[in-house]
Amino acid sequence: MKLTIEQEQEIKDLQSQENKTKRVVAPELEKILYDAISVLDHGFVRVIDYMGDDTSIVQAARVSYGKGTKKVSTDSGLIKYLMRHWHSTPFEMCEIKYHVKLPIFIARQWIRHRTANVNEYSARYSILDKEFYLPKNEHLAAQSKSNRQGRGDILQGEQAKKVLNLLKNDAERTYENYETMLNERYDGSIVDENETGLARELARMNLTLNTYTQWYWKTDLLNLMNFLRLRADHHAQYEIRAYADVMLDTLKRWVPTTYEAFMDYRVGGTEVSSKGKIIIQKLISGEKINPEQSGLSKREWNELMLALELKDKLI
């Protein structure tokens, strides 16, 4: 991970502040506020700002539900109730803002989550950093034979070395051409005094997708959890999962009660169809179940059995 001199100074200045506030604060999140938490080889995640905490969710719910919440004896119980019954609006009352440095190909996957405010580093205005993501050997894998958007067996020996060299050489070569077209090097020096540089908005299109970009990403708690439920899952691509894992820790620091309910009902739980419910009832009662007569497809059946950790019943 590499921070610019300006970014390092900004972090020092921000962390040296001592502000008094009447707003709620999350003590554990305050401990890492502004810190650059390393991700991948050159990336990072920083929490820049946040609004609200667990009590803000409870406050919003009680405004919405009025006296009905008196039946829920504790704030924890209310948050679990909201999570369990998919009451989403109270979680939208909390917001968080991140500064993220990430490879462009992950940014393009990430931006599919359209429920956030995003401001990205402008390569029309500035020169992109000379930094590229290069996977570690254990993350160089062949295409999965069963999953069109997943990885299969890890590449070994000379094959892995060849692929890594290709990735590195392509990134360095295209960046060198980028500097030549700009007629300006990364360090600010001029390539050729007699040449006129190409516009930055045009020169950037030559760069590889493993080049790093940066953005500010602000979202509410509900949509952060939706993002993490998908991207911290073991099926997600490793690179975006690495960012999601760091953000999952910030969630725990920020709203620990909500985090516990989220891990229980969203991450650790599973959704069951009406047909699946009937199968579970039969399993509990000791009845024999026939996959062919269950009304479920092979995929649905296997997903249910895996969720119930009944691998011996897979078909």
- Residues noted as catalytic: 231
| Residue whose token pair is 């020996």 | 157
* CA quadruple 19, 25, 30, 34: dihedral sign: negative
Residue type, 199: A
Record the tokens describing residue 22, joined without a space: 């009447």
Residue 43 backbone phi and psi in degrees, to 5: -90, 170
Record the tokens describing residue 268, joined without a space: 């650790």
